[in-house]
Structure 1
Amino acid sequence: MMFACSFHVSTMAVRALIASFACLIAPLALANDGVKTPPFERVQLDNGTVLLLMERHDVPLIQFDARVRGGGRLDPSGRFGVASLLASLLEKGAGERDSLSFAQTVASVGGAIQTDASLEAIVVSGSFLARDRKLMVELLADMLQRPRLEDKELQALRARRIEFIRAAKDSDLSALLSLYGDAALFAGHPYGNPVVGSEASLAQITSADIRKFYEEHVGGDRLIVSVAGDFSAREMKRLLTDAFSKWRKAKASLPEVPAPKPIASRRVLLVDAPDSVQSYFWIGNVGVARSDPRRAPLDIVNTLFGGRFTSMLNSELRIRTGLSYGARSRFDRLHLPGAWQMTSFTRTETTIEAIDLALATLDRLHTEGLDETMLASSQTYVLGQFPLGLETAAQWAAQLSTLELYGLSTSYIDDYAQALNAVQLADTKAVISEVFPKSDEVLLVVLGKADALREGLKKYGPVEEMKLSDPEWSKR
């Protein structure tokens, strides 16, 4: 036992050192016109599983990113959180290993495995030393094809998830804004499903729900496995083919989802948090899909409006007026248009002033747009930030999976810098008009003290109210 413990610490230390070294020397594949995707091999097995293999021999590490198409958008009504709980259960025992044995096996070789779920995929990612590649594939295959899905583990995860939600309602309301915003904006649409679940939906989920979801929505035809790092593509292809080529297909087909419709007029959702001394607000509408060809000008405009510290939104709400410690905007890009949103927070007594200023800043974007100096500044900023997300093997594994998941070619990466440099003021003016909502075409969600806010919020449009203590994210 002493030897095993010593070995584990030593292995972890070596792995950490290697990872740190990788960050220092990782090649950027950066040419004069931006990042270029390093060579990789794509293999599609007979059952539909897609393998993406990128050799990188700078350090003796292997990173993988596996995605099962589907995710939280497929959660059954009233059982939101099933996909997310299933993702967590995948690492709570698989194959011949129970939860403890599985964790000990990963830790004993200094490996790491994480699971997650989004609206459109269940994700399993991890990192192992190159010498442990066979074990890595074995564990991944067990997780996906032979998960134990034990009821006791589900009960523990479900209870912990409910407690996390309740804790956030007590102390971190900002973490809940998007849950309320998406549920209201996409009401009745799968994009409104809360991936993490709600207090009410989580309490209803049973082992039977988990197993049914697994049988119907997890299978070889849904699987993408990306591997990047120090390995032979020929050997890795053989290992993964042997592990996954005979896996069954998911029993259900992926349902077609209609495009969500933007809201046409402003309305308000007020979530009463009677003990809060601050208000948290979310302002948004339907945005664009990940495949939208206007990506470059959209990124430039959004960066300038609310995507960096010196953005228009943060400059007004934090730097100039001191109404908030921060304000930002972003796009959620999915297969179909997700949300565009801007968020901030302020003291209860300055809530209306802060919302007015946020909406006025959005109006100013429409009336004034960008000038040449602003355009050049945003181009430089985005061009400088983009390569930072494509340095390590882990980042490339995740990026390859993302491209495959959304049906995008490597031009999405390779041509991005050129597209940014080509953006003209006319392009920014067009996307502001076409994509960014006007201030009277948004959903406004406010978490705060309803008695102090109700009357002031009425000027923005019809006000619907909920209580923070309600166990759901919307009044479905």
Structure 2
Amino acid sequence: MKNIFFLFFAMLAVNAVAQNNFKVPKYEKFTLKNGLTIYLMEQHEVPLINVSAVFDAGAMNDGDRYGLSSLTADALVFGTQKYTKPQIEEMTDFVGATLNTVAGKESAGLTSSFAAKDQEKLFDIIQQVLMYPVFDATEFDKHKQRTLLELTQQKESPRSVIGNYFNVFLFKSFPYATPVGGTKSTVEKITSADVKAFYKSNYTTGRGAIAVVGDFKTADMKKTITALFSNWKTAESRMVKRVAPDLEFDKSRVLLVNKDDARETTFLIGGKGIDYNSPDYVPVLVMNTILGGRFTSWLNDALRVNSGLTYGAGSRFSRYKYAGTFAISTFTKNSTTVPAIDMALSVLDSLHKTGINEEILASAKAYVKGDFPPEYESAGALARLLTDMFVYNFDGNFINTFQSKVDGLTTAQAKEVIATYFPKNNLQFVLIGKADEIRDQVKKYGEITEKQIKADGF
């Protein structure tokens, strides 16, 4: 029995050391003659292969046709030169594979996971979806009608849409304000011809990358991927120069979105955050863990545990390539809207005025370090990490130095990070609730602008 306990604790110790020394596994990166970037990473623990493909085809390229990038990504699987939509679905389901297309603000593409023994069949489908989509008009029109219905339904759930209102309120005319899923009025006007044109302009090899992670030999996979994609000819990739948006505000503002039947007020409070490659991301993450990044955070303790004003409260930094935002988020009954907002502001203020001590910092460090390696436990997560490296132009050092940066954070540095990156003045408030019940009470937070949630757009 003693030997069993010794072995158990020894395994725990080895696992802890492994977590504290987590590094990006070895991978190979190369570029095909058409400009497409390829990442290959062997992972032999399970007989699976995961693929992540990304292109400069996110919502930032929608212009005023909000939802175009999202509909284009969806439509990639509506049939190809070789397979119909039902055939793609049947073939992937039959072997237990997954194949999903997705669009975000800055990129779009696909992810797939399948057994190594089925790779020939799945790579054939992936090649067809990426290189030879036909954007079947009948399938597209059916999907568009479902999308319009979903856009209507989303407005019934404030937590589903408040982020869009927040982004528009802060980013204004910068493309990060673009709602990825679109609006009813913009989606209604988009046709299958539009998505076909968007695909031709934005799914270009010069601004694209494919990562393959899993049970294979790199030399063999390199031959496979080269044979599949090296002859892909696309339009010339576009380099769009953008200037980072100005998120410095000279006064506090309130956006009040009226929902007549609301029994709760859902709100975000925040302002300027950090961009994706901020050198201070790690200390910011640790400090946010204390404020609102875990269940035992100050915000959740104050608003849920101690006062019962909500079922949950938190804070987060949303990072993009050129800029980012910080926001405190929660929801509460109409009658406790102001007490909840005041308490959230008080907690943020205490982060600045009281700061943190060694014990609090040590707890946050342990939490962040423990939460970090599991993010990259699966081959699918590693594949997405590699394509994120491509999209946001960073390398393995970000991961490899993560835990040492956490360990090196001091209380003095933490104080500087709080002062620099956690906004406390000229905050921006977005509230979705019953305006007649809260309008007069929330005037004290800043100049009010009102919208109706039933109105189209954000």
Kept after mapping to 2: 8 A contact 1:228/1:396: yes
Task: Spell out the pairing of 1:43-62 with structure 2 (5 A cutoff).
Answer: 43-62=30-49
Paired residue type of 1:182: N
Show the counterpart of 1:161: 147
Aligned counterparts of 1:316 and 1:200: Cα–Cα separation in 2: 41
Q: Which of residues 230, 247, 257 in structure 2 aligns to 1:271?
A: 257
State the shift of 1:28 in Å.
8.1
1:327 counterpart = 2:313: yes
Paired residue type of 2:456: P
Paired residue type of 2:131: Q
Show the counterpart of 1:4: none
Show the counterpart of 2:373: 387
Show the counterpart of 1:469: 454
What stretches of structure 1 of length at least 5 have no aligned partner? 1-26
Show the counterpart of 1:128: 114
Deviations 1:145-177 (A, max 9, x none): 11111222222222212212222222x211111
Q: Which of residues 386, 392, 399 in structure 2 aligns to 1:400?
A: 386
State the shift of 1:369 in Å.
1.6
Paired residue type of 1:280: T
Q: Normalized against structure 1, the TM-score is what?
A: 0.91
Show the counterpart of 1:12: none
1:176 is paired with a residue of what secondary structure?
helix
1:210 is paired with a residue of what secondary structure?
helix
Deviations 1:266-295 (A, max 9, x none): 101010000010110011212111111111
Task: Spell out the pairing of 1:31-46 with structure 2 (5 A cutoff).
Answer: 31=18, 33-46=20-33
State the shift of 1:136 in Å.
2.0
What stretches of structure 2 of length at least 5 have no aligned partner? 1-13
1:420 counterpart = 2:416: no
State the shift of 1:95 in Å.
2.5
Cα distance change of structure 1 residues 153 and 28 upon mapping to structure 2, 3 Å threshold: farther
Aligned counterparts of 2:149 and 2:201: Cα–Cα separation in 1: 29
1:264 is paired with a residue of what secondary structure?
coil
State the shift of 1:311 in Å.
0.6
Kept after mapping to 2: 8 A contact 1:29/1:37: no
Cα distance change of structure 1 residues 315 and 108 upon mapping to structure 2, 3 Å threshold: same
Task: Spell out the pairing of 1:40-189 with structure 2 (5 A cutoff).
Answer: 40-77=27-64, 79-170=65-156, 172-189=157-174
1:257 counterpart = 2:262: no
Kept after mapping to 2: 8 A contact 1:191/1:338: no
1:35 is paired with a residue of what secondary structure?
coil
Kept after mapping to 1: 8 A contact 2:204/2:237: no
Counting aligned pairs with the same residue, the percent is: 34
Kept after mapping to 2: 8 A contact 1:28/1:387: no
Kept after mapping to 2: 8 A contact 1:28/1:390: no
Aligned residue pair count: 444
Paired residue type of 1:36: K
Kept after mapping to 2: 8 A contact 1:70/1:254: no
Aligned counterparts of 2:17 and 2:57: Cα–Cα separation in 1: 33
Show the counterpart of 1:199: 184
1:185 is paired with a residue of what secondary structure?
helix
Task: Spell out the pairing of 1:292-307 with structure 2 (5 A cutoff).
Answer: 292-307=278-293
2:172 is paired with a residue of what secondary structure?
coil
Deviations 1:183-233 (A, max 9, x none): 111110011110111122211212232122111111111221111111121
Kept after mapping to 1: 8 A contact 2:266/2:332: yes
State the shift of 1:333 in Å.
1.3
Kept after mapping to 1: 8 A contact 2:20/2:369: no
State the shift of 1:252 in Å.
5.2
Show the counterpart of 2:8: none
Kept after mapping to 2: 8 A contact 1:271/1:450: yes
1:338 counterpart = 2:324: yes
Deviations 1:110-144 (A, max 9, x none): 21101111111103001111111122221111111
Deviations 1:79-137 (A, max 9, x none): 11111111111122123111111111112222110111111110300111111112222
Kept after mapping to 1: 8 A contact 2:273/2:422: yes
Q: Which of residues 357, 370, 373 in structure 1 aligns to 2:343?
A: 357
Q: Which one is further off, 303-312 or 88-97?
A: 88-97
| RMSD after superposition | 1.6
Q: Which runs of 4+ in 1 moved over 4 A?
A: 27-30
Cα distance change of structure 1 residues 30 and 399 upon mapping to structure 2, 3 Å threshold: farther
Q: Which of residues 246, 266, 281 in structure 1 aligns to 2:231?
A: 246
Cα distance change of structure 1 residues 179 and 307 upon mapping to structure 2, 3 Å threshold: same
Q: Normalized against structure 2, the TM-score is what?
A: 0.94
Show the counterpart of 1:315: 301
State the shift of 1:32 in Å.
6.6
Show the counterpart of 1:229: 214
Paired residue type of 2:302: E
Kept after mapping to 1: 8 A contact 2:43/2:216: yes
Q: Which of residues 252, 275, 280 in structure 1 aligns to 2:266?
A: 280
Aligned counterparts of 2:402 and 2:439: Cα–Cα separation in 1: 45
Kept after mapping to 2: 8 A contact 1:215/1:251: no
Q: Which one is further off, 304-313 or 195-204?
A: 195-204
Aligned counterparts of 2:394 and 2:166: Cα–Cα separation in 1: 28
Kept after mapping to 1: 8 A contact 2:59/2:66: yes
2:372 is paired with a residue of what secondary structure?
helix
Aligned counterparts of 1:455 and 1:154: Cα–Cα separation in 2: 46
Aligned counterparts of 1:250 and 1:365: Cα–Cα separation in 2: 51
Paired residue type of 1:104: E
Cα distance change of structure 1 residues 430 and 466 upon mapping to structure 2, 3 Å threshold: same
Aligned counterparts of 2:454 and 2:19: Cα–Cα separation in 1: 54
Kept after mapping to 2: 8 A contact 1:93/1:99: yes
